[in-house]
Structure 1
Amino acid sequence: MARAGLERHRSRGCLGLARGRADALQDRKIDLSVREVYPAVDASGFAEALAKARAATTPLTVRVEDRVVSEDAAGLASLLVIDRVLAKPGELSTPPAGAIVPATRYRYTVSLDEARVTDWVKALGVKLDRPAVAAKYSASKEGTLSVIAGVNGIRLDQDKMRSLMLAELLTSATTASRELAAPAIPDSTAFTTDQAKEWLPKLSKTSTFTTYFPPSRSRFANISTGASQFDGVVIMPGQSFSFWNLLGPVTVERGYAYAGAIIQNRSDENVIGGGLCQVSTTMFNALSKLGYQIDERHAHGYLIDRYPLGLDAAVFDPGVDFRWTNDTDVPVFLWSWVGDTFVTFDVWSMPTGRTVTFSDALQKNFVDVPPDQPADPAFPKGVSVKGRDVFRTRTVSDASGKAIHQDFFASHYAPVWGGPLPAPATPPAP
């Protein structure tokens, strides 16, 4: 009991001492020294960047004649680069006297990413350009020509537009939107209407060639759609021709269908645009006998007997093209005719005095169909075609007899068949 009483006495004594100290603090006045801590980036460090960002993201309209393209703030913001950089003396506002100032202060900058601006201008050109359309000819079945007038075009001057964007976009706009008149330059065509009229009375049909194909609605659609892309095309002196560059995309939307084609030496009956090789082969034969420079020609995977031996011209995108160059002094004009089972290409130009001879086909290295080779769906059972190499030489001479071109067309054809005939039925037992 004595110890317990002593502990209670000590506790009361400590509590009394604490209360006395608290009372003493409440009665005293203490002055605290306060200093402002200044931020590493203050409002002045954002001001210029914010003004430029607002200017750059002002909705923009770009106009070339009657064509207009608009870009919103989000699209323009994608052209900006925002950086935090070390502030130099005098670039920021002066801190209040006595403030604690960081040893290093920063500010933000806004600039244009020149590579992004370049890409943006390229995309703008796609929208604003109006390419020139070359003059063409139209041919009638009676053999008369008429001129289809060309159309002058206009295209964005991308270098000047890029400079204009870099100079103007970060400047303050005075209205809620900004409009720029895009610098443009005329887009001229290689063959004008006046040139077409000048050449018209001088042109005549210099070559024609026809190939035939089995009746097929889908094949007809592909051949007629493909051949029509070359109607009226004029290849000027010195100009090169690419089948794929002029044909354009092969899609269902453009009228093409799924039909048979040769893929890796075997028929595939479900290829979009199957049959376009008939267009290129017909065109090749119409042109090659006039002596033009042949730049690229490929054989099919297997021999097709409806084409001249060793003078087919397969095409496949990508990588297999038919290309040639008009290496004469006069323009060349193409026209096609397509029926249910045939395609014809006519070539109109002027006589050049060239003579063209083809060697007979040299066939070598015949290969029988291996018995284990899969059947090709385009061939009936029991029908086979041997593989072989075929060589043809084309010699082109000018009017004096001097050789201009000597081409060696080498074709390798794989063997193909429709599979073995069914075994004869076993006669019934007597």
Structure 2
Amino acid sequence: MKDSGSAALRLGIAVAVLLAGYLGLAWFLGRHIPSNSTVAGVPVGGMSPQRAEDTLRRALASRETAKVTLQAGDKTFQLDPRAAGLSIDYAGTVDGLSGFSLNPGDVWDNLSGGSDEELETTVDRDKLVSALKGAGATLDTAVVQGSVTFPGGKVKAVKPVEGSTMSVDGTADEVAARWPSTTPIAPRVDKVPPAVTAQEVDRAVAEFATPAVSSPVTVKVGAKSFAVQPASFAPALSMKADGSGKLAPSVDNAKLVAAVRKSASAAGLEEKPRDAKITFKGNKPVVVPSAAGATLDEKSVVATFVPALTSPDRTATVTTAVVQPKLTTAAAEKIKPREVVSTFTTYFPYNPPRTENITIAARTLNGTYVGPGEQFSLNKVLGQRTAAKGYNPAPVINNGRLTTDYGGGISQLSTTTFNAAFFSGVKIDEYLAHSFYISRYPEGREATISWPDVDQKWTNDTGYGILIQSFVSNGSVTVTFHGTKVWDIEAVKGPRRNIVQPRTIVDDKPGCVTQTPSTGFDVTVSRIFKKAGKTVRTSTFSTHYIPEDKVTCTHPDAN
């Protein structure tokens, strides 16, 4: 009995030890991850949950922050996972990989088992959707609409191609399911069908486009006719989708009419109207009569030309319309100048090149008409003074010294014109006096000119047209304004002020031009506007002249 009891005791102790060992093993294994476990390819077997979490954070840090690539064909777009609200839930991933169990199968799995587990992620849906909204501009594929055009008078057909637009919500689902994938993620897209089919493009080409530009269109105008080539009228043609999936012909009426009129002009069947012109016959203003023109009627062109594009005889019969000039003879007679408004003459010394320049400029200015409210620009009327226009090198002032340039001397005409404008009462807009005083001009009432910056401008605010007459005769130039006299103008010059004496300069350069000295000074001229002998208003013109230095030239080639 004693031996039997001892054996039972020993057995009980052994069972207790085994049970305690089993419990200890189960407890230990329950606090660790199964030995062969991996997460997203990262080994975590046998680790405690905290150690496994730390291991995953280190191993997947670069993967968690790597850009997410969306790829549609050859187009890519990258997302910043943090900005897109994507993150890895490390604690959630590790949770559940370990746990206490007395089940022998579980204990055995913890001891020798394990598998590759997926990562748990968290997604801020609002941030992800917001980040994806900018991807469409990169990943969308534009639909290619079927079209028919007519470059150079030839038919060009473009077959339609389906497009696609990225679905933001669908792509968000795809990213949430795939991230943190290391391979590009294909966005979900919605197909965009073209407005017309390839079959419709073929039909439009066969039924309209090809016949339309197959040959010239003949245009009949009365007993005459002319041809309009496809290359001429094709730019006015196009084909547009009509909303029902059909391509319909479209015509730019303005371009079509312009093309037909151009061909008509080349054939001598259109004539532009000629405005009446106010000019001189001797010293008397006369009107050169206007003439009406003829042009193809726009409505007639559009109504008959388009049907002719697909008709068997390809012929359009159009009518003409009379085009009146902008300024008729009757209107010109009404505004023709009736009297001399102002006239002014200046005199110049003998200098053939300079005189020829003044003569050319006066001839160009002569006959210029300035309508009511129009601004006159002397530079605009004369243009650049060049040798090709017959101008010669002659003296000009540059930085207070005389030199030579083409057109030198036409400041004489500018000053004369300025004084005619001054005494006509027009509004003086822009002028510049010579830098030093020239004795043949009135003090404070003179104007230089230089291309293109120094100009003389005035606005005809008299309410009537002004016709300018200018000519050179016997060492003088005269400018006369013909129109309707509105003002009696009186000029009153004040005394010279702030007088400055000239210097003496000796110059040995070959381009030197001698100068006779004169003092510099300031002067003010009053312009008094009168009607019926009574002063209405007064304006003033102040001028500053620098002294003209005495220049002696010592070089043998100097002027």
Question: What is the TM-score when the length of structure 1 is the normalising length?
Answer: 0.59
Distance 1:187 1:69 in 2: 26
Task: Give the letter for the 1:284 counterpart.
Answer: F
CA deviations 1:213-269 (Å, max 9, x no partner) are: 343444333322322234345556655544345446756665545544456666553
Match of 2:409 among 265, 275, 300: 275
Who is 1:32 aligned against? none
Who is 1:401 aligned against? 534
342 and 350 in structure 1: CA distance in 2 versus 1, 3 angstrom threshold: same
TM-aligned CA deviation for residue 299 of structure 1: 2.0
CA deviations 1:39-69 (Å, max 9, x no partner) are: 86353242356247518x8478899xx9x99
Who is 1:186 aligned against? 324
Distance 2:356 2:431 in 1: 24
Q: Is the 8 A contact 2:470 2:479 kept in 1?
A: yes
Higher RCO (CA < 8 A, seq sep 6+): 1
Match of 1:334 among 460, 468, 474: 468
State the percentage of identical aligned residues.
Answer: 23
- Alignment pair present for 1:136 and 2:273: no
Match of 1:172 among 279, 297, 308: 308
- Alignment pair present for 1:149 and 2:149: no
Who is 2:173 aligned against? none
Who is 2:206 aligned against? 47
Task: Give the letter for the 2:540 counterpart.
Answer: F
Decide which moves more: 386-395 or 177-186: 177-186
Who is 2:430 aligned against? 296
For 1:241-252, list aligned pairs within 5 A. 241-247=376-382
Distance 1:60 1:364 in 2: 80
For 1:32-43, list aligned pairs within 5 A. 41-42=198-199, 43=202
- Structure 2 unaligned regions, length at least 5: 1-158, 161-197
Greater share of residues in helix: 2
TM-aligned CA deviation for residue 132 of structure 1: 1.0
155 and 45 in structure 1: CA distance in 2 versus 1, 3 angstrom threshold: same
CA deviations 1:370-414 (Å, max 9, x no partner) are: 97999795731x64556655432322222252323x333233455
Q: Is the 8 A contact 1:377 1:418 kept in 2?
A: no
Q: Is the 8 A contact 1:332 1:347 kept in 2?
A: yes
Distance 1:374 1:52 in 2: 81
Who is 2:195 aligned against? none
Task: Give the letter for the 1:278 counterpart.
Answer: Q
Q: Is the 8 A contact 2:527 2:540 kept in 1?
A: yes
Distance 1:61 1:385 in 2: 75
- Alignment pair present for 1:229 and 2:364: yes
Distance 1:386 1:62 in 2: 77
Q: Is the 8 A contact 2:237 2:251 kept in 1?
A: yes
Who is 1:5 aligned against? none
Who is 1:36 aligned against? none
For 1:254-403, list aligned pairs within 5 A. 255-262=390-397, 269-271=404-406, 273-328=407-462, 332-339=466-473, 341-348=475-482, 352=486, 354-360=488-494, 362-364=496-498, 366=500, 379-380=513-514, 383-384=516-517, 389-399=522-532, 401-403=534-536
Who is 1:99 aligned against? none
Distance 2:430 2:227 in 1: 44
Q: Is the 8 A contact 1:260 1:275 kept in 2?
A: yes
Distance 2:203 2:333 in 1: 65
CA deviations 1:168-225 (Å, max 9, x no partner) are: 765534666868666553124387588379975xx3x564322233434443333223
249 and 152 in structure 1: CA distance in 2 versus 1, 3 angstrom threshold: farther
For 1:8-19, list aligned pairs within 5 A. none
- Structure 1 unaligned regions, length at least 5: 1-38, 92-106, 424-430
SS in 2 for 1:402: strand
Q: Is the 8 A contact 2:526 2:540 kept in 1?
A: yes
Structure number, greater radius of gyration: 2
SS in 1 for 2:440: coil
Match of 1:219 among 324, 333, 354: 354
SS in 1 for 2:288: coil
Distance 2:315 2:384 in 1: 38
Distance 2:344 2:390 in 1: 24
SS in 1 for 2:350: coil
SS in 2 for 1:222: helix
Q: Is the 8 A contact 1:52 1:110 kept in 2?
A: no
TM-aligned CA deviation for residue 338 of structure 1: 0.7
Distance 2:512 2:261 in 1: 46
TM-aligned CA deviation for residue 342 of structure 1: 2.0
TM-aligned CA deviation for residue 282 of structure 1: 0.7
Distance 1:115 1:189 in 2: 25
TM-aligned CA deviation for residue 421 of structure 1: 4.7
Q: What root-mean-square deviation, in Å, do the aligned CA atoms of Structure 1 and Structure 2 show?
A: 5.2
For 1:71-90, list aligned pairs within 5 A. 73-77=230-234, 79-80=235-236
For 1:43-122, list aligned pairs within 5 A. 43-47=202-206, 50-51=209-210, 54=213, 58=216, 73-77=230-234, 79-80=235-236, 91=246
Distance 1:60 1:221 in 2: 55
- Alignment pair present for 1:411 and 2:543: yes
SS in 2 for 1:187: coil
Distance 1:226 1:323 in 2: 16
Corresponding pairs, count: 349
Who is 2:102 aligned against? none
236 and 265 in structure 1: CA distance in 2 versus 1, 3 angstrom threshold: same
Distance 1:414 1:71 in 2: 67
TM-aligned CA deviation for residue 279 of structure 1: 1.6
TM-aligned CA deviation for residue 157 of structure 1: 8.9
SS in 1 for 2:411: helix
Distance 1:412 1:61 in 2: 68
